[in-house]
Chains A and B, each alone.
Chain A
Protein backbone atom coordinates (compact mmCIF):
# COMPACT_ATOMS: atom_id res chain seq x y z
CA UNK A 1 0.00 0.00 0.00
CA UNK A 2 2.79 2.38 0.97
CA UNK A 3 4.66 1.74 -2.30
CA UNK A 4 1.45 2.35 -4.26
CA UNK A 5 1.14 5.78 -2.61
CA UNK A 6 4.75 6.56 -3.51
CA UNK A 7 4.14 5.54 -7.13
CA UNK A 8 1.02 7.77 -7.30
CA UNK A 9 2.94 10.72 -5.83
CA UNK A 10 5.81 10.17 -8.27
CA UNK A 11 3.43 9.97 -11.22
CA UNK A 12 1.77 13.20 -10.13
CA UNK A 13 5.12 14.94 -9.86
CA UNK A 14 6.11 13.70 -13.31
CA UNK A 15 2.81 14.90 -14.72
CA UNK A 16 3.13 18.31 -13.10
CA UNK A 17 6.70 18.73 -14.29
CA UNK A 18 5.69 17.65 -17.76
CA UNK A 19 2.86 20.16 -17.87
CA UNK A 20 5.04 23.10 -17.00
CA UNK A 21 6.92 23.42 -20.27
CA UNK A 22 9.72 25.92 -20.54
CA UNK A 23 8.33 29.05 -22.17
CA UNK A 24 9.92 30.11 -25.41
CA UNK A 25 12.14 33.14 -24.76
CA UNK A 26 12.04 36.02 -27.25
CA UNK A 27 14.37 35.65 -30.23
CA UNK A 28 15.64 38.97 -31.61
CA UNK A 29 16.09 39.35 -35.36
CA UNK A 30 19.80 39.33 -36.07
CA UNK A 31 21.39 41.66 -38.58
CA UNK A 32 22.74 38.61 -40.41
CA UNK A 33 19.15 38.04 -41.60
CA UNK A 34 19.43 41.00 -43.95
CA UNK A 35 22.62 39.71 -45.56
CA UNK A 36 20.77 36.95 -47.46
CA UNK A 37 18.85 39.03 -49.97
CA UNK A 38 17.88 36.16 -52.30
CA UNK A 39 15.39 34.68 -49.86
CA UNK A 40 11.69 35.07 -50.53
CA UNK A 41 9.62 36.09 -47.53
CA UNK A 42 5.97 35.20 -47.05
CA UNK A 43 4.04 37.54 -44.73
CA UNK A 44 0.94 36.24 -43.02
CA UNK A 45 -1.04 38.57 -40.75
CA UNK A 46 -3.90 36.69 -39.20
CA UNK A 47 -7.18 38.56 -39.19
CA UNK A 48 -8.55 39.94 -35.97
CA UNK A 49 -12.06 38.71 -35.26
CA UNK A 50 -13.28 41.07 -32.56
CA UNK A 51 -12.01 42.45 -29.26
CA UNK A 52 -12.89 40.48 -26.13
CA UNK A 53 -13.01 40.83 -22.36
CA UNK A 54 -10.38 38.90 -20.35
CA UNK A 55 -10.72 38.14 -16.64
CA UNK A 56 -7.37 37.71 -14.93
CA UNK A 57 -6.76 35.94 -11.63
CA UNK A 58 -8.67 33.36 -9.63
CA UNK A 59 -12.12 33.39 -11.25
CA UNK A 60 -14.55 30.50 -10.77
CA UNK A 61 -17.63 29.69 -12.79
CA UNK A 62 -20.09 31.76 -10.72
CA UNK A 63 -17.59 34.64 -10.49
CA UNK A 64 -17.22 34.47 -14.24
CA UNK A 65 -20.95 34.95 -14.70
CA UNK A 66 -21.06 37.88 -12.26
CA UNK A 67 -18.02 39.60 -13.75
CA UNK A 68 -19.30 39.12 -17.29
CA UNK A 69 -22.67 40.62 -16.30
CA UNK A 70 -21.05 43.62 -14.61
CA UNK A 71 -18.80 44.29 -17.59
CA UNK A 72 -21.38 43.44 -20.26
CA UNK A 73 -21.87 47.03 -21.38
CA UNK A 74 -18.13 47.61 -21.83
CA UNK A 75 -17.69 44.20 -23.46
CA UNK A 76 -20.39 44.74 -26.06
CA UNK A 77 -19.00 48.20 -26.84
CA UNK A 78 -15.52 46.77 -27.34
CA UNK A 79 -16.80 43.89 -29.45
CA UNK A 80 -18.26 46.43 -31.87
CA UNK A 81 -15.10 48.56 -32.22
CA UNK A 82 -13.68 49.14 -35.69
CA UNK A 83 -10.35 47.31 -35.81
CA UNK A 84 -9.54 48.00 -39.46
CA UNK A 85 -6.45 49.96 -38.29
CA UNK A 86 -4.94 46.58 -37.40
CA UNK A 87 -5.13 45.48 -41.06
CA UNK A 88 -2.80 48.36 -41.93
CA UNK A 89 -0.04 46.35 -40.25
CA UNK A 90 0.08 44.01 -43.26
CA UNK A 91 0.89 46.90 -45.62
CA UNK A 92 3.31 48.46 -43.12
CA UNK A 93 5.28 45.22 -42.77
CA UNK A 94 5.26 44.70 -46.53
CA UNK A 95 6.66 48.21 -47.07
CA UNK A 96 9.18 47.72 -44.29
CA UNK A 97 10.66 44.58 -45.86
CA UNK A 98 10.50 45.95 -49.40
CA UNK A 99 12.49 48.98 -48.28
CA UNK A 100 15.16 46.62 -46.97
CA UNK A 101 15.33 44.97 -50.38
CA UNK A 102 13.43 41.79 -49.48
CA UNK A 103 11.31 39.85 -51.94
CA UNK A 104 7.93 39.77 -50.19
CA UNK A 105 4.74 37.86 -50.85
CA UNK A 106 1.65 38.70 -48.83
CA UNK A 107 -0.27 35.55 -47.96
CA UNK A 108 -3.99 36.25 -47.90
CA UNK A 109 -5.20 32.65 -47.38
CA UNK A 110 -6.16 31.45 -43.94
CA UNK A 111 -3.13 29.36 -42.95
CA UNK A 112 -5.11 27.67 -40.15
CA UNK A 113 -2.12 27.82 -37.82
CA UNK A 114 -3.89 26.08 -34.96
CA UNK A 115 -4.49 23.04 -37.12
CA UNK A 116 -0.83 22.63 -38.11
CA UNK A 117 1.09 19.68 -36.75
CA UNK A 118 3.46 20.20 -33.81
CA UNK A 119 7.12 20.33 -34.76
CA UNK A 120 9.37 18.07 -32.74
CA UNK A 121 12.20 20.11 -31.30
CA UNK A 122 15.48 18.63 -32.65
CA UNK A 123 17.55 20.77 -30.29
CA UNK A 124 16.59 19.94 -26.71
CA UNK A 125 19.53 21.96 -25.35
CA UNK A 126 17.87 25.06 -26.81
CA UNK A 127 20.99 26.45 -28.38
CA UNK A 128 18.80 27.07 -31.42
CA UNK A 129 15.06 27.62 -31.21
CA UNK A 130 12.46 26.08 -33.48
CA UNK A 131 8.83 26.98 -34.08
CA UNK A 132 6.29 24.88 -32.18
CA UNK A 133 4.15 24.41 -35.29
CA UNK A 134 5.49 22.80 -38.42
CA UNK A 135 5.45 25.51 -41.09
CA UNK A 136 7.81 23.76 -43.52
CA UNK A 137 5.04 22.67 -45.92
CA UNK A 138 4.44 26.32 -46.84
CA UNK A 139 7.86 26.49 -48.53
CA UNK A 140 6.67 24.42 -51.43
CA UNK A 141 3.06 25.58 -51.36
CA UNK A 142 3.87 29.30 -51.67
CA UNK A 143 7.42 29.14 -53.02
CA UNK A 144 8.84 31.05 -50.07
CA UNK A 145 11.96 30.57 -47.95
CA UNK A 146 10.92 32.40 -44.80
CA UNK A 147 7.53 32.96 -43.25
CA UNK A 148 6.58 35.86 -41.00
CA UNK A 149 3.47 35.10 -38.96
CA UNK A 150 1.72 37.71 -36.83
CA UNK A 151 -1.49 36.91 -35.03
CA UNK A 152 -3.53 38.65 -32.32
CA UNK A 153 -3.30 37.08 -28.85
CA UNK A 154 -5.27 39.22 -26.43
CA UNK A 155 -7.18 42.16 -27.83
CA UNK A 156 -9.80 44.14 -25.94
CA UNK A 157 -10.27 44.67 -22.23
CA UNK A 158 -8.59 42.98 -19.28
CA UNK A 159 -9.33 43.26 -15.59
CA UNK A 160 -7.76 41.51 -12.60
CA UNK A 161 -10.09 39.71 -10.18
CA UNK A 162 -10.04 37.67 -7.05
CA UNK A 163 -13.31 35.81 -7.44
CA UNK A 164 -15.83 38.50 -8.23
CA UNK A 165 -13.89 41.25 -6.46
CA UNK A 166 -12.17 43.50 -9.01
CA UNK A 167 -8.54 44.03 -8.00
CA UNK A 168 -8.17 47.09 -10.17
CA UNK A 169 -9.68 49.09 -12.99
CA UNK A 170 -10.02 47.50 -16.41
CA UNK A 171 -7.40 48.37 -18.99
CA UNK A 172 -7.41 48.29 -22.77
CA UNK A 173 -4.95 45.75 -24.12
CA UNK A 174 -3.57 44.86 -27.50
CA UNK A 175 -1.18 41.92 -27.74
CA UNK A 176 0.10 40.20 -30.84
CA UNK A 177 2.45 37.31 -31.31
CA UNK A 178 4.98 37.32 -34.09
CA UNK A 179 7.49 34.79 -35.39
CA UNK A 180 9.74 34.63 -38.40
CA UNK A 181 10.55 31.07 -39.43
CA UNK A 182 13.15 29.64 -41.79
CA UNK A 183 11.06 27.14 -43.76
CA UNK A 184 14.10 25.03 -44.66
CA UNK A 185 14.40 23.78 -41.07
CA UNK A 186 11.55 25.46 -39.10
CA UNK A 187 14.12 27.49 -37.13
CA UNK A 188 12.93 30.64 -35.41
CA UNK A 189 14.69 33.73 -36.75
CA UNK A 190 12.51 36.06 -34.70
CA UNK A 191 10.02 35.41 -31.94
CA UNK A 192 8.19 37.99 -29.84
CA UNK A 193 5.02 38.74 -27.96
CA UNK A 194 4.24 42.43 -28.27
CA UNK A 195 1.87 43.81 -25.66
CA UNK A 196 0.66 47.35 -24.97
CA UNK A 197 -1.97 48.23 -22.40
CA UNK A 198 -3.52 51.50 -21.29
CA UNK A 199 -5.74 52.52 -18.44
CA UNK A 200 -8.43 55.09 -19.06
CA UNK A 201 -7.45 58.72 -18.80
CA UNK A 202 -10.04 59.97 -16.32
CA UNK A 203 -13.01 57.83 -15.35
CA UNK A 204 -13.23 54.46 -17.11
CA UNK A 205 -16.88 53.64 -16.47
CA UNK A 206 -18.56 55.88 -19.00
CA UNK A 207 -21.24 53.87 -20.77
CA UNK A 208 -22.24 53.51 -23.49
CA UNK A 209 -19.12 54.51 -25.44
CA UNK A 210 -16.38 54.27 -22.75
CA UNK A 211 -14.29 57.04 -24.34
CA UNK A 212 -11.34 56.79 -21.96
CA UNK A 213 -10.86 53.05 -22.43
CA UNK A 214 -11.61 53.24 -26.15
CA UNK A 215 -8.97 55.91 -26.59
CA UNK A 216 -6.53 53.70 -24.65
CA UNK A 217 -7.39 50.76 -26.90
CA UNK A 218 -6.57 52.58 -30.13
CA UNK A 219 -3.41 54.03 -28.59
CA UNK A 220 -2.33 50.47 -27.65
CA UNK A 221 -3.11 49.25 -31.17
CA UNK A 222 -0.91 51.93 -32.72
CA UNK A 223 1.86 51.32 -30.19
CA UNK A 224 1.84 47.59 -31.01
CA UNK A 225 2.10 48.26 -34.74
CA UNK A 226 5.02 50.60 -34.20
CA UNK A 227 6.67 48.17 -31.78
CA UNK A 228 6.43 45.23 -34.21
CA UNK A 229 8.12 47.26 -36.94
CA UNK A 230 10.81 48.48 -34.55
CA UNK A 231 11.61 44.91 -33.51
CA UNK A 232 11.91 43.88 -37.15
CA UNK A 233 14.25 46.75 -37.88
CA UNK A 234 17.87 46.38 -38.82
CA UNK A 235 19.84 47.24 -35.69
CA UNK A 236 22.48 49.07 -37.70
CA UNK A 237 19.75 51.42 -38.94
CA UNK A 238 18.50 52.02 -35.41
CA UNK A 239 22.04 52.74 -34.24
CA UNK A 240 22.58 55.17 -37.11
CA UNK A 241 19.45 57.08 -36.12
CA UNK A 242 20.66 57.31 -32.54
CA UNK A 243 24.03 58.63 -33.71
CA UNK A 244 22.36 61.38 -35.75
CA UNK A 245 20.43 62.54 -32.67
Chain B
Protein backbone atom coordinates (compact mmCIF):
# COMPACT_ATOMS: atom_id res chain seq x y z
CA UNK B 1 0.00 0.00 0.00
CA UNK B 2 1.50 3.32 -1.01
CA UNK B 3 1.46 6.09 1.53
CA UNK B 4 3.16 8.63 -0.67
CA UNK B 5 -0.06 10.59 -0.96
CA UNK B 6 0.62 11.77 2.56
CA UNK B 7 3.77 13.56 1.42
CA UNK B 8 3.15 17.27 1.16
CA UNK B 9 0.01 17.10 3.30
CA UNK B 10 0.95 20.02 5.50
CA UNK B 11 -1.54 19.51 8.28
CA UNK B 12 0.22 21.88 10.67
CA UNK B 13 -0.10 24.75 8.20
CA UNK B 14 -3.80 24.08 8.04
CA UNK B 15 -3.99 23.85 11.81
CA UNK B 16 -2.07 27.08 12.31
CA UNK B 17 -4.40 28.84 9.91
CA UNK B 18 -7.50 27.66 11.66
CA UNK B 19 -6.34 28.47 15.18
CA UNK B 20 -9.06 27.85 17.71
CA UNK B 21 -11.11 25.79 15.27
CA UNK B 22 -8.45 23.10 15.28
CA UNK B 23 -8.64 22.82 19.03
CA UNK B 24 -12.36 22.20 18.80
CA UNK B 25 -11.73 19.68 16.04
CA UNK B 26 -9.23 17.88 18.25
CA UNK B 27 -11.71 17.75 21.07
CA UNK B 28 -14.39 16.51 18.72
CA UNK B 29 -12.15 13.86 17.20
CA UNK B 30 -11.28 12.51 20.59
CA UNK B 31 -14.77 12.68 21.96
CA UNK B 32 -16.68 11.40 18.96
CA UNK B 33 -16.40 7.72 19.82
CA UNK B 34 -17.80 8.18 23.28
CA UNK B 35 -20.34 5.57 24.23
CA UNK B 36 -22.39 5.17 27.33
CA UNK B 37 -24.02 2.05 28.63
CA UNK B 38 -27.44 2.50 30.06
CA UNK B 39 -27.71 -0.18 32.64
CA UNK B 40 -31.13 0.73 33.86
CA UNK B 41 -32.58 -1.06 36.81
CA UNK B 42 -35.51 0.83 38.22
CA UNK B 43 -36.11 -1.80 40.82
CA UNK B 44 -39.44 -0.77 42.25
CA UNK B 45 -41.00 -0.12 38.91
CA UNK B 46 -39.95 -3.45 37.52
CA UNK B 47 -40.48 -5.63 40.58
CA UNK B 48 -44.04 -4.44 41.00
CA UNK B 49 -44.80 -5.41 37.47
CA UNK B 50 -42.49 -8.39 37.15
CA UNK B 51 -45.17 -10.95 37.86
CA UNK B 52 -47.49 -9.46 35.29
CA UNK B 53 -47.45 -10.77 31.82
CA UNK B 54 -45.13 -9.14 29.33
CA UNK B 55 -45.23 -8.99 25.58
CA UNK B 56 -42.22 -10.56 23.93
CA UNK B 57 -40.57 -9.39 20.76
CA UNK B 58 -37.58 -11.25 19.35
CA UNK B 59 -35.63 -9.14 16.90
CA UNK B 60 -33.76 -11.59 14.71
CA UNK B 61 -31.31 -10.03 12.32
CA UNK B 62 -30.93 -13.08 10.12
CA UNK B 63 -28.06 -11.59 8.12
CA UNK B 64 -26.03 -10.75 11.21
CA UNK B 65 -27.26 -13.36 13.67
CA UNK B 66 -23.93 -15.16 13.30
CA UNK B 67 -20.69 -13.27 12.82
CA UNK B 68 -17.00 -13.98 13.14
CA UNK B 69 -14.71 -12.03 15.41
CA UNK B 70 -11.79 -10.43 13.64
CA UNK B 71 -9.69 -9.75 16.68
CA UNK B 72 -9.83 -12.83 18.82
CA UNK B 73 -6.58 -14.42 17.76
CA UNK B 74 -3.70 -12.67 19.58
CA UNK B 75 -1.14 -14.06 17.13
CA UNK B 76 -2.91 -12.58 14.13
CA UNK B 77 -3.33 -9.29 15.99
CA UNK B 78 0.38 -9.12 16.80
CA UNK B 79 1.26 -9.84 13.17
CA UNK B 80 -1.08 -7.04 12.11
CA UNK B 81 0.55 -4.57 14.51
CA UNK B 82 3.93 -5.53 13.10
CA UNK B 83 2.77 -4.92 9.53
CA UNK B 84 1.43 -1.48 10.53
CA UNK B 85 4.72 -0.57 12.12
CA UNK B 86 6.75 -1.81 9.14
CA UNK B 87 4.52 -0.06 6.65
CA UNK B 88 4.77 3.23 8.46
CA UNK B 89 8.51 3.01 8.85
CA UNK B 90 8.89 2.40 5.13
CA UNK B 91 7.40 5.82 4.35
CA UNK B 92 10.19 8.37 3.99
CA UNK B 93 9.55 11.56 5.96
CA UNK B 94 8.59 14.53 3.82
CA UNK B 95 11.49 16.98 3.49
CA UNK B 96 10.96 19.69 6.06
CA UNK B 97 8.10 17.89 7.75
CA UNK B 98 7.51 18.99 11.32
CA UNK B 99 6.53 16.73 14.20
CA UNK B 100 2.87 17.71 13.81
CA UNK B 101 2.83 16.61 10.18
CA UNK B 102 4.54 13.34 11.02
CA UNK B 103 2.06 12.74 13.80
CA UNK B 104 -0.93 13.42 11.55
CA UNK B 105 0.53 11.20 8.84
CA UNK B 106 1.10 8.45 11.37
CA UNK B 107 -2.47 8.64 12.68
CA UNK B 108 -3.96 8.55 9.18
CA UNK B 109 -1.65 5.78 7.99
CA UNK B 110 -2.24 3.71 11.11
CA UNK B 111 -6.00 3.90 10.87
CA UNK B 112 -5.98 3.09 7.17
CA UNK B 113 -3.68 0.09 7.47
CA UNK B 114 -5.44 -1.10 10.60
CA UNK B 115 -8.81 -0.94 8.86
CA UNK B 116 -7.43 -2.86 5.89
CA UNK B 117 -5.75 -5.46 8.07
CA UNK B 118 -8.86 -5.89 10.21
CA UNK B 119 -10.91 -6.30 7.10
CA UNK B 120 -8.62 -8.95 5.61
CA UNK B 121 -8.40 -10.86 8.90
CA UNK B 122 -12.15 -10.79 9.15
CA UNK B 123 -12.56 -11.99 5.57
CA UNK B 124 -10.14 -14.87 6.13
CA UNK B 125 -11.96 -16.01 9.27
CA UNK B 126 -15.38 -15.58 7.65
CA UNK B 127 -14.28 -17.64 4.64
CA UNK B 128 -13.31 -20.50 6.92
CA UNK B 129 -16.70 -20.25 8.60
CA UNK B 130 -18.66 -20.26 5.32
CA UNK B 131 -19.96 -23.84 5.71
CA UNK B 132 -21.55 -22.89 9.03
CA UNK B 133 -23.08 -19.73 7.55
CA UNK B 134 -24.63 -21.79 4.75
CA UNK B 135 -25.96 -24.43 7.10
CA UNK B 136 -27.39 -21.82 9.41
CA UNK B 137 -29.11 -20.04 6.52
CA UNK B 138 -31.01 -23.23 5.71
CA UNK B 139 -32.06 -23.61 9.34
CA UNK B 140 -33.04 -19.96 9.56
CA UNK B 141 -35.39 -20.46 6.62
CA UNK B 142 -37.11 -23.12 8.71
CA UNK B 143 -37.21 -20.73 11.69
CA UNK B 144 -35.15 -23.07 13.89
CA UNK B 145 -32.91 -20.57 15.76
CA UNK B 146 -35.85 -18.31 16.61
CA UNK B 147 -37.90 -21.28 17.82
CA UNK B 148 -35.06 -22.33 20.16
CA UNK B 149 -34.73 -18.79 21.53
CA UNK B 150 -38.48 -18.32 21.99
CA UNK B 151 -38.77 -21.71 23.66
CA UNK B 152 -36.20 -20.79 26.27
CA UNK B 153 -37.53 -17.29 26.89
CA UNK B 154 -41.01 -18.66 27.54
CA UNK B 155 -39.55 -20.54 30.51
CA UNK B 156 -38.48 -17.34 32.31
CA UNK B 157 -39.79 -17.40 35.86
CA UNK B 158 -39.99 -13.79 36.91
CA UNK B 159 -41.20 -12.14 33.77
CA UNK B 160 -43.97 -14.20 32.27
CA UNK B 161 -44.58 -13.90 28.61
CA UNK B 162 -48.17 -13.11 27.74
CA UNK B 163 -50.18 -12.65 24.60
CA UNK B 164 -48.40 -10.63 22.01
CA UNK B 165 -51.48 -8.61 21.17
CA UNK B 166 -51.11 -5.33 23.04
CA UNK B 167 -54.51 -4.18 21.76
CA UNK B 168 -56.23 -6.52 24.21
CA UNK B 169 -54.67 -4.75 27.16
CA UNK B 170 -51.71 -7.03 27.56
CA UNK B 171 -49.21 -6.05 28.64
CA UNK B 172 -47.77 -3.40 30.91
CA UNK B 173 -44.29 -4.60 30.08
CA UNK B 174 -42.69 -5.31 26.75
CA UNK B 175 -39.55 -7.39 26.45
CA UNK B 176 -37.41 -6.91 23.35
CA UNK B 177 -34.70 -9.50 22.81
CA UNK B 178 -31.87 -9.25 20.26
CA UNK B 179 -29.85 -12.47 20.06
CA UNK B 180 -26.43 -12.59 18.42
CA UNK B 181 -23.78 -15.27 18.07
CA UNK B 182 -20.12 -14.60 17.45
CA UNK B 183 -17.64 -17.27 16.44
CA UNK B 184 -14.11 -16.63 17.62
CA UNK B 185 -11.45 -15.94 15.03
CA UNK B 186 -9.81 -19.30 15.66
CA UNK B 187 -13.24 -21.03 15.40
CA UNK B 188 -12.86 -22.55 18.86
CA UNK B 189 -15.58 -20.75 20.84
CA UNK B 190 -19.03 -19.29 20.39
CA UNK B 191 -20.19 -16.21 22.22
CA UNK B 192 -23.96 -16.06 22.53
CA UNK B 193 -25.15 -12.60 23.47
CA UNK B 194 -28.71 -11.56 24.21
CA UNK B 195 -29.46 -7.85 24.39
CA UNK B 196 -32.48 -7.57 26.65
CA UNK B 197 -34.67 -4.50 26.97
CA UNK B 198 -37.77 -4.13 29.13
CA UNK B 199 -40.09 -1.20 28.46
CA UNK B 200 -43.06 0.10 30.36
CA UNK B 201 -45.73 0.19 27.70
CA UNK B 202 -47.91 2.68 29.59
CA UNK B 203 -45.21 5.27 30.20
CA UNK B 204 -43.40 4.30 27.02
CA UNK B 205 -40.00 4.27 28.67
CA UNK B 206 -37.22 1.72 28.88
CA UNK B 207 -36.95 0.49 32.48
CA UNK B 208 -34.22 -2.08 32.06
CA UNK B 209 -31.54 -2.66 29.45
CA UNK B 210 -28.68 -5.10 29.66
CA UNK B 211 -26.80 -7.87 27.88
CA UNK B 212 -26.48 -11.51 28.87
CA UNK B 213 -23.45 -13.27 27.47
CA UNK B 214 -22.49 -16.94 27.38
CA UNK B 215 -19.09 -18.04 26.12
CA UNK B 216 -18.89 -21.75 25.24
CA UNK B 217 -16.12 -24.02 26.43
CA UNK B 218 -13.32 -24.01 23.85
CA UNK B 219 -13.65 -26.73 21.21
CA UNK B 220 -10.64 -28.62 19.94
CA UNK B 221 -9.15 -26.26 17.41
CA UNK B 222 -7.78 -28.96 15.13
CA UNK B 223 -11.34 -29.92 14.22
CA UNK B 224 -11.86 -26.42 12.83
CA UNK B 225 -15.24 -25.54 11.42
CA UNK B 226 -16.17 -29.25 11.17
CA UNK B 227 -16.71 -29.20 14.91
CA UNK B 228 -19.67 -26.87 14.45
CA UNK B 229 -21.05 -28.13 11.15
CA UNK B 230 -20.94 -31.94 11.39
CA UNK B 231 -24.26 -33.79 11.70
CA UNK B 232 -26.41 -30.83 10.63
CA UNK B 233 -24.58 -28.45 12.98
CA UNK B 234 -25.34 -30.62 15.98
CA UNK B 235 -22.65 -28.98 18.12
CA UNK B 236 -23.63 -25.48 17.06
CA UNK B 237 -27.28 -25.89 17.97
CA UNK B 238 -26.34 -27.85 21.08
CA UNK B 239 -24.13 -24.96 22.21
CA UNK B 240 -26.88 -22.44 21.37
CA UNK B 241 -29.38 -24.46 23.40
CA UNK B 242 -27.03 -24.72 26.39
CA UNK B 243 -26.18 -21.04 26.18
CA UNK B 244 -29.82 -19.97 26.16
CA UNK B 245 -30.64 -22.26 29.07
CA UNK B 246 -27.89 -20.52 31.05
CA UNK B 247 -28.92 -17.08 29.83
CA UNK B 248 -32.48 -17.66 31.03
CA UNK B 249 -31.01 -18.60 34.43
CA UNK B 250 -29.14 -15.29 34.42
CA UNK B 251 -32.28 -13.36 33.47
CA UNK B 252 -34.21 -15.13 36.22
CA UNK B 253 -31.49 -14.24 38.70
CA UNK B 254 -31.64 -10.63 37.59
CA UNK B 255 -35.39 -10.40 38.17
CA UNK B 256 -35.61 -12.58 41.26
CA UNK B 257 -36.79 -10.04 43.90
CA UNK B 258 -35.01 -11.67 46.87
CA UNK B 259 -31.62 -11.67 45.18
CA UNK B 260 -31.56 -7.96 44.57
CA UNK B 261 -31.29 -4.96 46.77
CA UNK B 262 -29.22 -5.27 49.94
CA UNK B 263 -27.43 -8.53 49.16
CA UNK B 264 -25.62 -7.47 46.03
CA UNK B 265 -22.27 -9.28 45.69
CA UNK B 266 -19.23 -7.09 46.19
CA UNK B 267 -17.22 -5.91 43.19
CA UNK B 268 -13.76 -7.49 43.23
CA UNK B 269 -11.06 -8.72 40.88
CA UNK B 270 -11.92 -12.29 40.02
CA UNK B 271 -8.97 -14.51 39.21
CA UNK B 272 -9.49 -17.59 37.09
CA UNK B 273 -7.72 -19.90 34.71
CA UNK B 274 -8.67 -22.04 31.78
CA UNK B 275 -6.93 -23.70 28.85
CA UNK B 276 -5.93 -20.32 27.43
CA UNK B 277 -4.14 -19.18 30.61
CA UNK B 278 -4.77 -17.12 33.75
CA UNK B 279 -7.04 -14.10 33.65
CA UNK B 280 -8.33 -11.30 35.84
CA UNK B 281 -11.78 -9.84 35.55
CA UNK B 282 -13.28 -7.08 37.64
CA UNK B 283 -16.88 -7.66 38.58
CA UNK B 284 -19.26 -9.34 41.01
CA UNK B 285 -19.02 -13.09 41.20
CA UNK B 286 -22.57 -14.47 41.03
CA UNK B 287 -22.02 -18.23 41.01
CA UNK B 288 -19.73 -21.02 39.82
CA UNK B 289 -21.17 -24.34 38.67
CA UNK B 290 -19.52 -27.14 36.67
CA UNK B 291 -16.30 -25.18 36.08
CA UNK B 292 -18.28 -22.25 34.74
CA UNK B 293 -18.08 -18.81 36.24
CA UNK B 294 -20.98 -16.37 36.10
CA UNK B 295 -20.32 -12.75 36.95
CA UNK B 296 -21.64 -9.27 36.48
CA UNK B 297 -18.93 -7.29 34.72
CA UNK B 298 -18.28 -3.58 35.11
CA UNK B 299 -20.60 -2.80 32.21
CA UNK B 300 -23.41 -4.42 34.17
CA UNK B 301 -23.57 -7.36 31.73
CA UNK B 302 -24.04 -10.84 33.14
CA UNK B 303 -21.47 -13.20 31.66
CA UNK B 304 -20.91 -16.92 31.93
CA UNK B 305 -17.62 -18.50 30.82
CA UNK B 306 -15.46 -21.56 31.32
CA UNK B 307 -12.79 -21.44 34.02
CA UNK B 308 -11.58 -22.40 37.48
CA UNK B 309 -11.36 -19.75 40.14
CA UNK B 310 -7.88 -19.11 41.53
A residues whose Cβ falls under 8 Å from a Cβ of B:
58, 66, 69-70, 85, 162-168, 203, 205-207, 209, 211-212, 214-215, 218-219, 221-223
Contacts and interface: CB of A to CB of B under 8 A. Distances in A.
Interface stretch (B99-107, B184-192, B218-226): B99-107
A222 B280 contact: yes
B26 A218 contact: no
Nearest to A221: B269
Give the interface size class of chain B: 20 to 34
22 contacts: A66-B26, A66-B27, A70-B30, A162-B100, A162-B102, A164-B23, A164-B26, A165-B100, A167-B107, A205-B34, A205-B35, A206-B35, A206-B36, A206-B37, A209-B298, A211-B298, A212-B298, A214-B282, A215-B283, A215-B298, A219-B279, A223-B280
A222 B145 CA distance: 40
Contacts, number: 71
Interface string B109-141: 010000000000000000000000000000000
B199 to A, nearest CB: 23
Given A205-B35, A206-B35, A221-B269, A211 B104 contact: no
B33 interface: yes
B297 A215 contact: yes
Contacts of A222: 269, 271, 280
B99 A162 contact: yes
Contacts of B102: 162
A206 B100 CA distance: 28
A165 B12 CA distance: 11
Q: Give the one of B23, B27, B104 with max A CB within 10 A.
A: B23
Across the A-B interface, the 8 shortest Cβ-Cβ residue pairs: A162-B103, A211-B298, A219-B280, A218-B282, A205-B34, A222-B280, A211-B299, A215-B282
Contacts of A164: 23, 26
A211 B37 contact: yes
B280 A163 contact: no
A36 B100 CA distance: 57
Interface string B1-37: 0000000000000000000000100110011011111
Contacts of A215: 281-283, 297-298
Given A66-B23, A203-B33, A219-B280, 7 more contacts: A66-B27, A163-B100, A164-B23, A167-B103, A205-B34, A214-B298, A219-B279
A69 B106 CA distance: 23
Contacts of B299: 206, 211-212
A209 B100 CA distance: 32
A207 B34 CA distance: 7
Contact of A219 (B37, B106, B281): B281
Interface string B215-253: 000000000000000000000000000000000000000
Contacts of A165: 26, 100, 103-104, 107
A59 B100 CA distance: 11
Contacts of B106: 162, 167
Counting chain B CB atoms within 10 Å of each CB, which of A85, A162, A168 scores highest? A162
Interface string B258-299: 000000000001010000000111110000000000000111
Contacts of A167: 103, 106-107
A167 B282 CA distance: 27
A168 B299 CA distance: 23
A206 B34 contact: yes
A241 to B, nearest CB: 14
Contacts of B31: 70, 205
A164 B269 CA distance: 34
A162 B269 CA distance: 34
Contact of A58 (B27, B99, B280, B298): B99
Nearest to A203: B35
Contact of B103 (A163, A207, A223): A163
Nearest to A63: B26
B169 to A, nearest CB: 39
Given A58-B99, A163-B99, A214-B282, A219 B35 contact: no
A209 B34 CA distance: 12
Interface string B164-179: 0000000000000000
Given A70-B27, A165-B103, A218 B35 contact: no
A229 to B, nearest CB: 13
Nearest to A69: B27
Interface centre among B23, B30, B104 (most CB of A within 10 A): B30
Contacts of A203: 33, 35
B219 to A, nearest CB: 22
Nearest to A65: B23
Nearest to B281: A215
A218 B37 contact: no
Nearest to A164: B26
A215 B267 CA distance: 11
B309 to A, nearest CB: 13
Contacts of B281: 215, 219
Nearest to B269: A218
